[in-house]
Amino acid sequence: MNELYINRELSLLEFHKRVLAQALDPNLPLLERLRFLCISCTNLDEFFEIRVAGLKQRMEIGAPAQGPEKIPAQEVFNTLRQEVAELVRQQYELLNKVMFPELTKAGVRFVQSHEWNGEQQEWLSHYFDEQVVPVLTPLTFDPSRPFPRILNKSLNFIVRLHGRDAFGRRRHRGMVQAPRSLPRIIELPEHLSEPGEHNYVFLSSVIRVHVDRLFPGLDVGGCHQFRVTRNSDLYIDDEEVSDLVRALEGQLEASRYGAAVRIEIGHECPEDLQEFLLDHFSLQEHDMYLVEGPVNLNRLSTVCGLTDRPELLYPPFTQGMPDDLLTDETIFEVLSKKNVLLHHPYQSFAPVIDFIALAAVDPDVLAIKQTLYRTGADSPIVDHLVTAARAGKEVTVVVELMARFDEAANIALANRLQEAGAHVVYGLVGFKTHAKMLLVVRREDDRLIRYVHLGTGNYHHATTSVYTDYGYLSSSQRLGEDVHKLFLQLTSLTEAVGMTRMLASPFSLFDALIDKIRRETENAKAGKEARIIAKVNSLNEPQLVDALYEASQAGVRVDLIIRGICSLRPGVKGLSENIHVRSIVGRFLEHSRVYYFFNDGDEEFYCSSADWMERNMFRRNESCFEIRQKAMKDMLRKHLELFLADNCQAWVLHGDGNYERLTPGKKKRISAQDIFLEELTAQT
């Protein structure tokens, strides 16, 4: 174990464990627990596609140890393999021994094939013939028909066969691929269920039971599901690429069939078929996970939307609205007098969408500039930008094509914007544009006024209902000038100089953070009160970690609220005794980034798109803006204090890298997210 730093991959895996712990919590609604189980599976998929894939590549080429902790890739992989195996075991034990029985008691039943009654068997047999068979392509293998290409994370079946085919050739194995067009969860009709029950059947069970119909004339000796996870990281050579879109499109197609890094197989699959699959995908036994249940747990999340049982879900709520916006005035009229700070998802994202919508049709608006990292399909924001461009306004959109797993969607929206007449600029290769900025230029009384929106989260209308973020609306002249300079930097690649209200990566943010941490350190050495609070998603930048260690040793009180990766070891004697780290995992994904520095009583608050990671400091374009209004600073201080007082959804990091979940015990129950729900929303 490295004494100074926690390995990034191991720290990320600890976060995945905390997500699974939500599914284990009996205090949560049952279908929400199921949803957390599915999220833990999705998280693990991405973990293998990116992090484990990278580890395996480094192991193959014998690359030197990376990261400040300098642990060899093979050693990290060996530890991860043991940890992941235990995590997967817990996932399926939870599914089979807890979730299925409790869901059945609640009238949500997953009917196993051996439980199908006569009517259900008949209906499913007809369903298989009418809905499934027409889109399946059963395969057998010979020199002219080699093993097919397997799509990343697709559902497949390896089939043992006996006998001779129609051409007299002996067959031993076959395969069935389940197209993604087929629903993985099938809801049985009401007349095949008990009154008040919702009955579901897995597609995998239907195919397995009826697979013999796909190989007439051959005897089926077994049918076993499997799923392969592939390396999905994209690499674009910034020195060689001449057309980013074409290069990225080629990489996207290739990534669907990248190198295999993991295979999940039904636990009942015989060893010889396991070995056959491992050999074909060039995998080792340590890359195989035998699972007792569906190989893709995240498909179970479908049930949360299909089942009309509100008592098994979180209580719904209506997103609130700041008092400043509860007026008949337009957003321009409001912002001409005051700034607005929104706290999502408790407060609605609608004002931001309405802001863009109004700007798109307002005859006095001359230009709109916006960064887009993730927007989601059918984004209303993109619709409004298209409207603005078609209306003849100057619309400039900086689209980050390399937003992981959203690359294809971003190419599509970029093409749509260009067709409408917008100026589309792609993020610079090697420097992702992760900043969240919107600038509207409006003519008012022969003057040009800049209105801005800055955020800690993406312009994605769907995630704003489940991610916590801050959004800042303002018509401040100096802030508008800074945002204008940052857009010029992104479009012309020139230097943004003379900014007074904003910090930005990869230029000024890192140095400013180091300076502010050192200022607190010097104040502590001088006997002054000194304090730092940072709420971010991840922390692994070694120079920031080292600066925080120095601050701790000088007596600075450091509180870090870090949802995911944390490479810093808190509470270590002589090193980090004054540093406390906690992770909040609850109903909403903690996504906001807030930095606080006591500054000898002249407190500073910053909101930002940037986590404290190497990539955010040096390989991304990030935005960071200061909050100066007293009421807003008071609000942010209150929020940070609530997170630090939370004893219901908080996990405390210890110096050995392990997390401990806090419980209120006999103390007053404090849940920051619950308090925000009560104060900022209307429960329905």
Higher pLDDT, 242 or 280: 280
Q: Are 415 and 329 found together in one domain?
A: yes
Strands (E), 427-501: 432-433, 437-444, 447-455, 467-474
Q: Are 656 and 511 found together in one domain?
A: yes
Q: Nearest-CA neighbor of 500 among 371, 626, 596, 632?
A: 626
Residue 356 CB contacts under 8 Å (≥ 6 apart), including other chains: 368, 370, 381, 384, 385, 438, 440
* 254 pLDDT higher than 70: no
Residue 585 is encoded by which pair of tokens? 């995992």
pLDDT digits (tens, 9 = 90+) for 257-300: 689 999 999 999 999 999 999 999 999 999 999 999 999 999 99
What pLDDT, on the 0 to 100 scale, is given for residue 377? 72
Q: Nearest-CA neighbor of 652 among 593, 579, 574, 590?
A: 579
Count of the separate structural domains present in the chain: 3
* 240 pLDDT higher than 50: no
Q: Are 16 and 42 found together in one domain?
A: yes
Q: Are 57 and 73 found together in one domain?
A: yes
Taking residues 604-633, report their average pLDDT: 97
Q: Are 305 and 322 found together in one domain?
A: no
Residue 3 lies in a domain: no
Q: Are 666 and 534 found together in one domain?
A: yes
Q: Out of 253, 283, 312, pick the residue that ends a domain.
A: 312
Q: Is 434 a catalytic residue?
A: yes
pLDDT digits (tens, 9 = 90+) for 433-445: 999 999 999 999 9
What pLDDT, on the 0 to 100 scale, is given for residue 242? 45
Q: Are 660 and 517 found together in one domain?
A: yes
Q: Which domain holds residue 576?
A: 505-683
DSSP 461: T
DSSP 260: E
Answer whether 200's CB lies under 8 Å from 189's CB.
no
Q: Report the alpha-carbon distance of residue 167 to residue 557 in Å, rounded.
A: 78
Catalytic residue among 343, 434, 453, 484: 434
pLDDT digits (tens, 9 = 90+) for 396-446: 999 987 666 667 777 888 889 999 999 999 878 789 999 999 999 999 999
Q: Are 304 and 368 found together in one domain?
A: no
Q: Is 599 left (phi over 0), alpha (psi -120 to 50) or beta?
A: left
Residue 385 lies in a domain: yes
Q: Strands 557-562 and 531-536: what pairing?
A: parallel
Find the CATH number of the domain harbouring 450.
3.30.870.10
Taking residues 353-367, report their average pLDDT: 97
pLDDT digits (tens, 9 = 90+) for 159-216: 999 998 888 888 889 999 999 899 999 999 999 988 889 999 999 999 999 999 999 9
Q: Are 339 and 244 found together in one domain?
A: no
- Residue-averaged pLDDT of the chain: 92
CA angle 474, 538, 657 (to 5 degrees): 150
Q: Out of 273, 296, 312, pick the residue that ends a domain.
A: 312
